[in-house]
């Protein structure tokens, strides 16, 4: 009971945080039909500055710290990124009216990481004065990239298997004597062959390196890795302290507002796809976060990973990608329906991750650690 009351008090207190306030405020003014618009170019530069700042923080931290400490959390981040996709493959994909490729793509997006959600978590941890490793933000790509790669790979394996099954069925249904319109009958087969040449189905191999490359080239990871490199190899402390650090919280507040408004406006898109997506989008962030939290606790007890770091790991597992993920998935799994995975992530997954999971995991960490 003490645990529960501590947890609940903390949960309620965090809903008063300005970071969550702006998110909820954005949803409310969008619901009330406000004509407020934050220009696209402003959102772009805010995301750039937030992720560059997270990268710089990580780079400066790594320069001054023991890289060995990062190994176990980074490994766990990779594990969670991969596991999340398989969860979607064997739960969401089995639900009625859910297409398997859509489910896999959704899993990929929920395994990938949202820089904004992570930024919100780091800010809330600071407000709560819970310390965390400064390099914790650098765990981002260790979860993000494996999730996207896994999703694209298993989606293609699935599509190839389906294709071959269809091919076999088609062949077994073929009459022994060629029919009247051989051209028409052979058309699907030749198209399959055409696709096969591209995707090399004989050994089910999907080229993994291009997916990784594309993830790294996306604007979100580019900015973060740039910041990381500059933090590692130059002396950015002056510009960090005079610009990126003080502006962080304020820029985040604007972005939270935009995400709240966007979440509301995307609600409609979700209605077009199966309602099971809503269920998944509410439950999955907690499940993913708890798996990561559990793994983080192992690192906490074995290598001294801080409880703040455990929360960061749990939150990036809860989060679903909003910037870098969608274009990568659209290119990697072109047959998946974007309004399924983007709608699920933006309209439900992200608000749940920021508004509920962050306070939940901070409360959990405080109840356990305090």
| Cα-based torsion angle of the residue sequence 35, 38, 39, 41 in order, rounded to the nearest 10 degrees | -170
Cβ-based nearer residue to a second copy, 45 or 166 = 45
C-alpha 95/C-alpha 340 separation (Å) is 14
Smallest distance, a second copy to C-beta of residue 111, A: 21
- Site for a second copy contains 242 (CB under 8 A): yes
Per 3-state DSSP, the chain is made up of helix, strand and coil in percentages (nearest 5) of 80, 0, 20
- Site for a second copy contains 331 (CB under 8 A): no
Smallest distance, a second copy to C-beta of residue 309, A: 22
Cβ-based nearer residue to a second copy, 190 or 234 = 234
Smallest distance, a second copy to C-beta of residue 72, A: 29
- Site for a second copy contains 32 (CB under 8 A): yes
- Site for a second copy contains 217 (CB under 8 A): yes
C-alpha 53/C-alpha 116 separation (Å) is 12
C-alpha angle 243/224/113, rounded to 5°?
Answer: 120
Cβ-based nearer residue to a second copy, 149 or 257 = 257
x/- site string to a second copy, residues 158 to 187, per CB under 8 A? ------------------------------
- Site for a second copy contains 247 (CB under 8 A): yes
Smallest distance, a second copy to C-beta of residue 313, A: 25
Cβ-based nearer residue to a second copy, 22 or 286 = 22
- Site for a second copy contains 11 (CB under 8 A): no
CA 339 from centroid of its chain's CA atoms? 16
Token pair belonging to 282:
């509410």
Which of these, 330, 350, 328, lies nearest to 338 by C-alpha position? 330
Q: Which of 116, 117, 156, 253 binds a second copy (CB under 8 A)?
A: 253
Question: Using alpha carbons only, how large is the chain's radius of gyration in Å?
Answer: 22
C-alpha 143/C-alpha 217 separation (Å) is 16
HSE (CB half, 13 Å, CA atoms) of 59? 22
C-alpha 172/C-alpha 158 separation (Å) is 21
**Chain position carrying tokens 């710290």:** 65
Smallest distance, a second copy to C-beta of residue 112, A: 16
C-alpha angle 40/50/124, rounded to 5°?
Answer: 115
Cβ-based nearer residue to a second copy, 50 or 292 = 50
**Binding segment for a second copy among 146-154, 173-181, 196-204, 230-238 (CB under 8 A)?**
230-238
Q: How far is CA 143 from CA 7, 134, 138, 210, in A?
A: 27, 17, 10, 17
Q: Which of 7, 48, 140, 361 binds a second copy (CB under 8 A)?
A: 48
CB 319 within 8 A of CB 113: yes
**Binding segment for a second copy among 60-68, 200-208, 244-252, 262-270 (CB under 8 A)?**
244-252
Q: State the SS3 of 25-57.
A: HHHHHHHCCCCCCCCHHHHHHHHHHHHHHHHHH
Residues 49-108 that bind a second copy (CB under 8 A): 49
Q: Which of 118, 130, 149, 223 binds a second copy (CB under 8 A)?
A: 223
Cβ-based nearer residue to a second copy, 294 or 327 = 327
Cβ-based nearer residue to a second copy, 249 or 330 = 249
Token pair belonging to 259:
């995400």
Q: Which of 44, 190, 275, 303 binds a second copy (CB under 8 A)?
A: 44
Residues 122-161 that bind a second copy (CB under 8 A): 127
- Site for a second copy contains 277 (CB under 8 A): no
Residues forming the site for a second copy (CB under 8 A): 16-22, 25, 29, 32-42, 44-45, 48-49, 127, 213, 216-219, 222-223, 226, 229-230, 233-236, 238-240, 242-244, 246-247, 249-251, 253-254, 257
């Amino acid at each position: 009971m003490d645990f529960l009351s501590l947890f609940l008090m903390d949960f309620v207190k965090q809903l008063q945080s300005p970071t969550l306030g702006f998110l909820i405020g954005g949803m409310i003014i969008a619901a009330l039909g406000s004509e407020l618009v934050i220009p696209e170019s402003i959102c772009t530069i805010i995301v750039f500055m937030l992720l560059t700042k997270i990268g710089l923080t990580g780079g400066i931290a790594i320069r001054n710290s023991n890289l060995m400490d990062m190994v176990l959390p980074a490994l766990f981040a990779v594990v969670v990124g991969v596991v999340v996709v398989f969860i979607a493959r064997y739960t969401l994909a089995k639900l009625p009216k859910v297409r398997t490729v859509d489910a896999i793509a959704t899993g990929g997006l929920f395994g990938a990481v949202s820089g904004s959600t992570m930024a919100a978590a780091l800010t809330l941890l600071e407000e709560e004065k819970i310390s965390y490793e400064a390099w914790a933000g650098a765990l981002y790509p260790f979860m993000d990239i494996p999730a996207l790669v896994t999703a694209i790979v298993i989606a293609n394996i699935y599509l190839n298997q389906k294709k071959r099954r269809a091919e076999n069925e088609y062949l077994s249904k073929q009459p022994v004597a060629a029919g009247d319109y051989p051209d028409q009958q052979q058309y699907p087969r030749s198209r399959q062959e055409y696709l096969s040449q591209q995707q090399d189905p004989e050994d089910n191999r999907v080229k993994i390196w291009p997916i990784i490359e594309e993830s790294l080239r996306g604007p979100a990871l580019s900015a973060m890795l740039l910041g990381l490199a500059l933090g590692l190899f130059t002396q950015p402390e002056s510009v960090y302290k005079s610009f990126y650090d003080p502006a962080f919280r304020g820029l985040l507040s604007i972005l939270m507002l935009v995400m709240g408004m966007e979440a509301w406006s995307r609600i409609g898109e979700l209605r077009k796809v199966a309602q099971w997506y809503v269920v998944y989008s509410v439950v999955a962030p907690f499940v993913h976060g708890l798996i990561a939290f559990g793994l983080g606790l192992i690192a906490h007890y074995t290598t001294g990973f801080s409880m703040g770091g455990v929360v960061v790991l749990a939150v990036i597992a809860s989060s679903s990608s909003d910037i870098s993920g969608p274009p990568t998935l659209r290119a990697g799994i072109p047959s998946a329906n974007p309004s399924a995975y983007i709608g699920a992530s933006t309209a439900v997954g992200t608000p749940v991750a920021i508004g509920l999971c962050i306070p939940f995991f901070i409360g959990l960490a405080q109840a356990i650690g305090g």
